[in-house]
Structure 1
Amino acid sequence: MHDPLNCRRASDLSLPFAPAWDYHQRMDKLTELRALIQRQARLWPAPLALDGVHVYASEGATPPAQHMTEPVFALVAQGAKQTILGERTYDYGAGQYLVASVDLPICGCITEASADAPFLAVGLNLKPAIIASLLLEVPHSTTTATASMSGMHVSNATPALLDAVLRLLHLADQPGDIAVLAPMIEREIHWRLLSGEQGVAIRQIGMADSRLSHIGRAIRWIREHYAELLRSEDLARLAAMSVSSFHRHFRAVTAMSPLQYQKQIRLQQARVRLMQEPGDVAAIGYSVGYDSPSQFSREYSRLFGAPPGRDSVQLRATGVLERTGRQM
């Protein structure tokens, strides 16, 4: 099993063979995107005027950070990042994008960045309603993807996708156009994703009766009731599956069992509380569902690399949770 506290550097992230004109078009758009992200990222922590859009820049590699990700499209313009989901590792760099199709507890770290070539990325929250409306208009759309239940995928960005992202970010300098043009471009980005390599996964986000949506209902229940006793029979019923089928599909989507998923949520919630409400570590452990303080401390240390009390002191000293909350 991968150690979430041991991120390795990304391997060769060169894009596969493509026609020369396609390659040069992609590189030109990436160059423009880098300049745009770098300029807009200097305004942080002031948010962009674009709802659900985030830019991120870092001049150095970062330590592994545990956090939750919602359905999101994250495109890297420069540098590289690694994301670990359960036992799966995803490395992606310039010109590649990651899509998370459900709420997932992940570990992420920037692996390639420097002052001369900072890590630059842009993210967009994915909206099931937009995907559903696109499916209604083009219900039999074809994609180049193969069926997969995984909740996370990495692909190469096409020039058309990069162009749409560029036009969306340019709207930050044209606030008068945002109300009219942003929804149109956001819809285009969803369409580019739906008709691309990850089309099968994107399609399931917008389908209320898809297996991914059924697993998503169970995931939401765990997130909202993480401190409660988890019963596989109840979750399987919520997902409209048999217990064995539910466990198989849940692991396919999240790369972990429901109990492992719940443990990740509990420990991440405990870490947030330790940052915000320093004090009785045992009481915080009980509040997130642990009956044994020693088990809480042991599992917390295994995930975050330090026992709860010591880690909370480091968190308050460095403000690490505020910084990692901006990562994608």
Structure 2
Amino acid sequence: MDTLQRLTAILDRHMPADGIAASPIPGITLYRASSPTMPMPVVYAPTLCVIAQGRKQVMLGATAYVYDPAKYLVASVDMAVTGAVVEATPAQPYLSLSLDLDMAQLGDLALHYPVHEEEADGPATGLALGDADPDVLDAVLRLMGLMDTPRDIDALAPLITREILYRLLTGTGACNSMVRQMAQANSRLNQIAKAIVWLRANYNGACRIDDIADIAGMSRSTFHAHFKAVTSMTPLEFRSRLRLQEARRLMVSEAMDAAGAGFRVGYESPSQFSRDYVRMFGLPPAKDAVQLRKSGELRAS
């Protein structure tokens, strides 16, 4: 049985029902779907996404990132994207996992095992695909195998997770290059990441571009160009997406009405909230929330 078959067997065993579940291994989330899913807006934290079986498409703006067991995906910063499982059947369900990327560990590894990386002239992107590296897959398999021996998780999971980060940091290819940029405190990518962290914490308040550019340590024009290259959105578009996704969650998960959800996330005008909501999700807020509660899509995306 090869690496992917063994990984599929482990995920199938520990994720018997469709949905999303935290694993007993810190930083690991498991996913399963027995059929293709509707495109759903989500926010990716810095993460490594590995598929054992099936195929997924992630849209960043107008760019599609399609990956399967032959490729993995890395998100370098908190990314507002739209994701959908595009290949899955009851006999061969979509099975995948995500590993949160510990930026402190990445920085520490970069200091101990420096790999010279000239920052590209053009702005970095926030997502990258990499060919499935046998060394990375082998480490992922060993990490997931710890679910069968939970007594070993505390001792061994941190060591294997560090090995995965090391492989991502020192490998070759665009994906690995992006990971090295993530590990450099003064890289443009990290400067944009600081601005995104601020936006996520303050999305429901006032937002002056000059202030956010100062947080990133860039001029307004440079910040705008790099932010859009990383996220495929302007800072204000990014903030709007964060607001609308949180409003959607409040209506579905906490049964809040549309007016209350819009006000909670920073909208002063209910009509503006409704217009923006329809533009993003295709339905008025209340109608969309009712459909999502019935389907369970928001919880299973």
Is 2:270 aligned against 1:286?
A: no
**Structure 2: unaligned runs, 5 residues or longer:** none
1:207-237 CA-partner distances (Å, limit 9, x unpaired): 2222111111111111111112211110111
Amino acid in the other structure paired with 1:93: D
CA contact (8 A) 2:123 2:225 kept: no
Q: Summarize the alignment of residues 228-267 of structure 1 with structure 2, pairs less than 5 Å apart.
A: 228-267=205-244
Question: Which shows bigger deviation, 286-295 or 149-158?
Answer: 286-295
Cα 1:105/1:134, change in 2 over 3 Å: same
Amino acid in the other structure paired with 1:250: F
Amino acid in the other structure paired with 1:323: A
| Aligned equivalent of 1:193, options 163, 168, 182 | 168
Q: Supply the distance in 1 between the matched residues of 2:50 and 2:283 (Cα, whole angstroms).
A: 32
Aligned to 1:86: 61
Is 2:114 aligned against 1:139?
A: yes
SS at match of 1:84: strand
Question: What's the offset of the Cα at 1:321?
Answer: 2.3
Q: Supply the distance in 1 between the matched residues of 2:7 and 2:264 (Cα, whole angstroms).
A: 44
The percent identity for this pair of structures is: 43
| Aligned equivalent of 2:198, options 205, 212, 221 | 221
Is 2:85 aligned against 1:110?
A: yes
Aligned to 1:297: 274
Question: What's the offset of the Cα at 1:282?
Answer: 2.4
SS at match of 2:97: strand
Q: Supply the distance in 2 between the matched residues of 1:28 and 1:142 (Cα, whole angstroms).
A: 34
Amino acid in the other structure paired with 2:210: E
Question: What's the offset of the Cα at 1:279?
Answer: 4.9
| Aligned equivalent of 2:4, options 7, 25, 30 | 30
Q: Supply the distance in 1 between the matched residues of 2:177 and 2:6 (Cα, whole angstroms).
A: 30
Aligned to 2:74: 99
CA contact (8 A) 2:69 2:132 kept: no
Cα 1:105/1:244, change in 2 over 3 Å: same
TM-score by length of 2: 0.92
Q: Supply the distance in 2 between the matched residues of 1:250 and 1:105 (Cα, whole angstroms).
A: 12
TM-score by length of 1: 0.85
Question: What's the offset of the Cα at 1:76?
Answer: 1.1
| Aligned equivalent of 2:39, options 48, 64, 85 | 64
SS at match of 1:116: coil
Amino acid in the other structure paired with 1:82: Q
Aligned to 1:15: none
CA contact (8 A) 2:71 2:131 kept: yes
Cα 1:42/1:141, change in 2 over 3 Å: farther
Q: Supply the distance in 1 between the matched residues of 2:130 and 2:176 (Cα, whole angstroms).
A: 11
Aligned to 2:286: 309
Q: Supply the distance in 2 between the matched residues of 1:116 and 1:281 (Cα, whole angstroms).
A: 39
Aligned to 1:41: 15
1:85-112 CA-partner distances (Å, limit 9, x unpaired): 1222111112210000111111100001
Is 2:48 aligned against 1:73?
A: yes
Q: Supply the distance in 2 between the matched residues of 1:195 and 1:148 (Cα, whole angstroms).
A: 21
Amino acid in the other structure paired with 2:14: Q
Question: Which shows bigger deviation, 115-124 or 183-192?
Answer: 115-124
| Aligned equivalent of 2:99, options 124, 139, 154 | 124
Q: Supply the distance in 2 between the matched residues of 1:146 and 1:28 (Cα, whole angstroms).
A: 40
CA contact (8 A) 1:147 1:201 kept: no
1:257-313 CA-partner distances (Å, limit 9, x unpaired): 101101100100110111244354223222222232222112111211210011121
SS at match of 1:102: coil
Aligned to 1:184: 159
Question: Which shows bigger deviation, 198-207 or 131-140?
Answer: 198-207
Cα 1:188/1:279, change in 2 over 3 Å: closer
| Aligned equivalent of 1:208, options 154, 165, 185 | 185
